[in-house]
Amino acid sequence: MSELSVRHLLGIKYLNEADIQLIFETADHFKEVINRSIKKVPSLRDITIANVFFENSTRTKLSFELAEKRLSADVINFSAAQSSVKKGETLIDTVNNILSMKVDMVVMRHPNPGAGIFLSKNVKASIVNAGDGAHEHPTQALLDSFSIREKLGDVAGKKVVIVGDILHSRVALSNIFALKLQGATVKVCGPKTLIPKHIESLGVQVETNLRRALNWCDVANMLRIQNERMDLSYFPTTREYTQQFGVNKALLDSLDKEITIMHPGPINRGVEITSDVADSKQSIILNQVENGVAIRMAVIYLLASKIK
């Protein structure tokens, strides 16, 4: 297969396994490119991309911008906090104004689930979802699986546990879809209050004991508690959450085997993960960030080839 089955990247839910393999093979090539002394290719000189962020971001925003520049696209950045959204402008009006400046692709982060899907039905541009509320974060899941493949050789057959705030996490949902498509076995682990009812219908198992989950898995993906999305108390105190669901070096060293530790960032050091675990040789957290640029180059390149 040489092209994606989709015109937008709205979620992993809309991809098939061949799409993921194509993105990975394309990212392999771009990873080689960004490790050259000249880290840039002229592939997208005729494409203009707008990064439209209605929510804070460090990794995703910088990674998309760098990926676009490495592909030689023209790039404009929009941050809602300094925009006319504050004066009441709608999402469609905002994006259509940006598109009238001859923009071909919109990379959007938005606090509302489904914002990218809504946009893709209402504007003429290729839309890339850079995280929509608690719904999906497809490029994060792609870079996570790409990093597992790089570290362990393959995703198929691997056992992955996603730990923490599953309820509010777009990273968890996109990872579940991506890992299952590639043939991994997936468990989720966290307080019962932070695990959605009926999550087993997605083909995952629930484990509420962290030690058992870690002893079972090859890879543990530790998630941040998303206080900004919580309107209730889901556990008694942060200290008790850390005691039950935080990973520390003593716990890691006491397991039956050496497992790989991941985290999508931003990290709450000392809450879901201690510094000596985050910075240990078992952690691939910064490899995930590095791989994000190659994955986003691949996604943008493949979607742009459907515009031309």
Residue ranges that bind ligand CP, judged by CB under 6 A? 57-60, 131, 137, 140, 264-266
Least separation in angstroms between residue 108's CB and ligand CP is: 13
Least distance (Å) between residue 263 CB and ligand CP: 9
Q: Are 83 and 94 in contact (CB under 8 A)?
A: yes
Residue with nearest beta carbon to ligand CP: 60
Q: How far is the CB of 209 from ligand CP (least distance, A)?
A: 27
Contact call for residues 35 and 152 (beta carbons, < 8 A)? no
d(CA 296, CA 225): 25
Question: Could you tell me the smallest distance in angstroms from the CB atom of residue 243 to ligand CP?
Answer: 25
In the complex with ligand CP, the residue whose CB is nearer, 43 or 176, is 176
Q: Per the annotation, does 140 bind a ligand?
A: yes
Q: Which lies closer to ligand CP via its Cβ, residue 59 or residue 159?
A: 59
> Toward ligand CP, which CB reaches closer, 26 or 174?
174
The reply, when asked if residue 224 is annotated as ligand binding, is: yes
Q: 45 a known binding residue?
A: no
**Is 31 or 109 the residue whose CB approaches ligand CP more closely?**
109
Rounded to 5, what percent of the chain is helix, strand, coil? Answer: 45, 15, 40
60 is in an annotated binding site: yes
- Report whether 265 belongs to an annotated binding site: yes
Distance of CA 166 to the CA centre of its chain: 14
Least distance CB 174 / ligand CP (angstroms): 11
Please state, in angstroms and rounded to a whole number, the distance separating the CA atoms of residues 231 and 250.
33
Output DSSP code: residue 203.
T
C-alpha–C-alpha distance, residues 141 and 158, integer Å: 15
User: Residue 114, annotated ligand binder?
Assistant: no
Q: Are 125 and 103 in contact (CB under 8 A)?
A: yes
Query: In angstroms, rounded to a whole number, what is the distance separating the alpha carbons of residues 299 and 22?
Result: 9
Q: Is the dihedral of CA 166, 167, 169, 171 positive or negative?
A: positive
Q: Which is nearer to ligand CP, 13 or 59 (CB)?
A: 59
Q: Taking the complex as a whole, how short is the minimal distance between the CB of residue 256 and ligand CP, in angstroms? A: 30
Q: In terms of DSSP H, where are the helices of the chain?
A: 17-33, 59-70, 91-99, 115-122, 138-152, 170-181, 210-216, 238-245, 249-253, 275-278, 285-307
Measured from the CB atom, the residue of 26 and 140 that comes closer to ligand CP is: 140
Known binding residues for carbamoyl phosphate: 59-60, 109, 137, 140, 265-266
